Structure 1
Amino acid sequence: MATKNITRILLALVAIAFFYGCSKDALDYKDYLDGKEKIYPGFPEKVTASPGNYRIKLTWKASPDPSVSRYMIYWNNAQDSLALQAPDRSVTNVSVIISNLVEYNYSFTIYSFDKAGNKSVPVQINNVKVYGDSYKTSLTNRFLVTSAPYQLDDNGITLQFERPDTINIGTEIRYTYKDGTVRQAKLGPDANSIRLADYKVGTKVYFRSSYVPVQSAIDTFYTAGFDSLSNIMVPVDKSLFKPLKLTNDVGTYSSETSLSKLWNGNKAPTGYPDIFHSDDNTPLPHHFTFDMGKQVANLAQFEIIGRDCCNNPTKFEIWGIADLTGAQTQSPADSPGWTAESNGRGWKLLKTVERSDDGSAPFKVAFPDGLPTVRYIRIRVISVASGDAYYSNISEVSFWNK
């Protein structure tokens, strides 16, 4: 019985000691907080940053705490700040754009506050990149395919671009329509070519590309300016072409195979009689001459299409001159002195062409830069694919200038 009483007394003493110990800790806590309970309003969650042009957009999930009345955002080691009133409780996401920044990596700290001035624990988002002129100067317009930047047809032009090598948004294209008005088109980042219908042949085409540094960016960045596709090769108007018959020019096989068949619009090898067919009175090398109808500057390209079977030129020379006064050569085309006489009379060798196939398919060659203005063209055929000593056959010739 005595043992039980002693046990009860000991338990009572422990309880008293525990009570006073807890009371002292609680009082110490109150003293540390100046007698007030510390309150932390709900903090922003899921903060994201979207970069822009000298600005940034911060977005976060609004705190569910109904006591939150405003948010404060700090950066530059708290030297700069921005206050934002908390939105209506029905708004679940909060966003703000901070402008007038410099191109730099930033860290932002966000607090929520209640009306009593209590603030939440800090929420930080670090290494936020802001973009500006340095980024813009690194951008270039999309590159055109060097080997074939465009293709002209009867109704327009098709531009060929290389694939973009960064986050390209699009390429704006400005061009002159056939009625003289300026029009716009847009090439998307996933497309490598664009056709401009009813493009006015000979006019410049301008293009400018746009980019974003990251997919979440709020601003689109443009290159410094438009590049232009100038010096576009323009087909020389073959409706002005006229046959000539100068001294020692080769004749034609028949009236059906005259020189005019060289510019009747063939797009592929054709057969007799829809061809130029030389006669058999003048051996190779032989030449023929025609008038382009007007003086043409900056010849850039030539195309020849052979016959569908035989006697197609595989080696020939293209000569040109602006005025025929005193230009008629007297030496036969197979004479050793023919070249010297041609040069002496003002003819200019524009291009020597050699092809290794059978000479039938359309075959383009580029003229060198710096050629003189010419009006009259002379083609001196040196050899043909069939090896014939007299005949040469051609379905079509075409010229382009810049």
Structure 2
Amino acid sequence: MKNLLYMLFGCMLLITMYGCNKTQTDFKNLLGNQEVVYTGAVKAVITQPGNLRIGLKWKSSSDPSIVKYVVYWNNKADSQIVKISTKTDSVRTTITGLKEFVYTFTIYSFDAKGNKSIPFEVNNIKVYGPVYAGTLLNRAYSGANPYRNNPNGSVTLNFTTPDTINIKTVIRYTDSSNATIEKTLLPDSSSITLPNYKQGTKIQYQSYYIPERAAIDTFVVNRFDDFPDIVLQYVQCNKSLFKSISLPNDVHADFGTSFEKLWDGSVGPQSYPNIFHSNESKLPHHFTFDLGAVYNYLARIEETGRDQSHNPLDFEVWGIADISNAATTLPGTDPGWTAEMKAKGWTLLKECVRTDDGKQAMKFDFIGNPPPVRYIRIRVKTNTSGENYSNISELTLWNLQ
């Protein structure tokens, strides 16, 4: 037994001595007498999906020997070389010609001798394309309150909160000069106002999206959608702003009455003195008043006569936005009065003709697409009595918005 132990100890001693005599480079015999050298590996990659392409970005390696990177995909059947000519903080490349698919990319770094790094894999990277684009819908408008007409002739469109990847929505419309206008609604806004919108024309909209926040491409819905038709509503003009003004040859309120009775809110034919009663002045004669605000689509007037006589049966309604140079010099009876009114910038909104006794309230619609109006001139041509007076209980006007 002792002899056996001595033999084992001697063998172990010989093995140890032989191992100590091996050099550290003897493993080269197993590698063709060459040492394995690894370049600095990629550590983290930012992916930027696009339309049938992908952007890749990673931080530059501190290894100064690296001269290029190679990106492989499709099980290394496809690759792209990214050469490094100057030192930068980051490396970027865009791979094009891809299919709409989920990819794995493998990246190696190389030095000038062909030594490469260990691989770095980027998995489950989605590339977008026509299939994704086909799923996109234009941003939804507010179903409960899609729009609002404004007194200044503009229209405000209301939309719901968009998806977080919505970039913008383009609104296309026609303005009052028949020009095609495009405005952009950003995702953080829920409404947009279209100035000088031409009533009755189509409004269309188209939305843009990105598939992910870091995406390098924007996708657009493949069509414009029609916004709901803008329907104008009659909104009564604010009578509290009305006031009388006097231009040359205007009649005035007489017999203890006042112009203010024309817009005091009374309903139905009124009795004296709760009326406007003009002074005696040969027909046709006229009077003027201020609406107190500019209306871009003044559309309707309602006239209520007195409970007795002198009610207008044929009268004209004229309008203008500014009376700075609008005063006329001719009396309403002059044949040249109409021409002078037009020359001064007034627009005939309506000639109102009644075939009754002129007492009850009666509405008359103005011309379509009127100019902006703030000042009204009423020219009474005939009345029920044939005398040179005008009696009116109430005037009400409406703007379309």
- The question of a shared fold, defined as TM-score above 0.5 by the shorter chain, is answered with yes
3-state SS, counterpart of residue 30 of structure 1: helix
AA aligned opposite 1:171: T
Residue ranges of structure 1 left out of the alignment (5+ in a row)? 1-12, 239-249, 258-263, 268-273, 282-292, 294-327, 329-392
Contact 1:68 1:114 in 2 (8 A): yes
Question: Residue 229 of structure 2 aligns with which residue?
Answer: 231
Change (3 A) 1:69 1:398: closer
Question: Residue 67 of structure 1 aligns with which residue?
Answer: 65
- Alpha-carbon shift at residue 140 of structure 1 (Å): 0.8
Task: Select 2:122's aligned residue among 96, 121, 125.
Answer: 125
Task: Select 1:199's aligned residue among 186, 197, 214.
Answer: 197
Residue ranges of structure 2 left out of the alignment (5+ in a row)? 1-10, 237-266, 277-289, 294-300, 309-316, 318-354, 356-393
Distance 2:201 2:291 in 1: 23
Change (3 A) 1:48 1:153: same
- Alpha-carbon shift at residue 98 of structure 1 (Å): 0.4
Contact 1:252 1:278 in 2 (8 A): yes
AA aligned opposite 1:60: W
Q: Alpha-carbon deviations, 1:237-278, whole Å to 9, x = none?
A: 99xxxxxxxxxxx98446959xxxxxx9799xxxxxx98668
Q: Within 5 Å, give how 1:35-114 maps onto structure 2.
A: 35-89=33-87, 91-114=88-111
3-state SS, counterpart of residue 106 of structure 2: strand
Contact 1:87 1:94 in 2 (8 A): no
Q: Give the fraction of aligned pairs with identical amino acids, expressed as a percent.
A: 39
Question: Residue 133 of structure 2 aligns with which residue?
Answer: 136
3-state SS, counterpart of residue 29 of structure 1: helix
- Alpha-carbon shift at residue 87 of structure 1 (Å): 3.5
- Alpha-carbon shift at residue 210 of structure 1 (Å): 0.8
- Alpha-carbon shift at residue 41 of structure 1 (Å): 0.9
Aligned length: 264
Distance 2:202 2:291 in 1: 26
Contact 1:266 1:395 in 2 (8 A): no
Contact 2:234 2:398 in 1 (8 A): no
Distance 2:168 2:268 in 1: 56
AA aligned opposite 1:124: E
Distance 2:275 2:134 in 1: 62
Q: Give the structure-2-normalised TM-score.
A: 0.57
Distance 2:189 2:211 in 1: 20
Contact 2:146 2:228 in 1 (8 A): no
Superposed CA RMSD: 4.0
3-state SS, counterpart of residue 49 of structure 1: strand
Distance 1:136 1:163 in 2: 20
Change (3 A) 1:23 1:184: farther
AA aligned opposite 2:169: T
Distance 1:126 1:183 in 2: 45
- Alpha-carbon shift at residue 25 of structure 1 (Å): 7.1
- Alpha-carbon shift at residue 14 of structure 1 (Å): 9.0
Q: Within 5 Å, give how 1:195-344 maps onto structure 2.
A: 195-229=193-227, 231-234=229-232, 252-253=269-270, 256=275
Distance 1:145 1:78 in 2: 50
Change (3 A) 1:178 1:73: same
- Alpha-carbon shift at residue 94 of structure 1 (Å): 0.3
Change (3 A) 1:37 1:99: same
- Alpha-carbon shift at residue 202 of structure 1 (Å): 2.0
- Alpha-carbon shift at residue 175 of structure 1 (Å): 1.7
- Alpha-carbon shift at residue 23 of structure 1 (Å): 3.9
Distance 1:19 1:280 in 2: 136
After the TM superposition, which segments of 4 or more aligned residues of structure 1 sit over 3 Å from their partners? Answer: 13-19, 22-28, 234-238, 250-257, 264-267, 274-281, 393-400
